[in-house]
Structure 1
Amino acid sequence: AKADEKTERHLNPLSVLHRVDELLAEDSIIVADGGDFVGSAAYIMRPRGPLRWLDP
């Protein structure tokens, strides 16, 4: 999968999203903006409850 691809020069954004999702506390609020990156985040990250995902 793309998230498992190794790179030494750049961060893999899919790997970053998976890792951030693993580390988020239950009371976290996710604020995201940025086109394609937000589209990927919407598929990978899990909001922890109602009104916990803000996409201005």
Structure 2
Amino acid sequence: MTRQLEEGNVISIQGFGTFEVKKKAERISVNPTTRQRMLVPPKLVLTYKPSTLLKDKFK
């Protein structure tokens, strides 16, 4: 599973959900107390979307 996600493939498990690696863009963050601006570098994030069958079971 890990190898497939590292290669950028989407993993779908029927009845459970979908795992996908998405790239978050570079952004500017501001510290509210010091008002200092910082550049947050881009990063890869693992996302999970549950299947509709699983969502219905939790309702």
* Structure 1 length-normalised TM: 0.24
Higher strand share: 2
Higher helix share: 1
Name the larger-Rg structure: 2
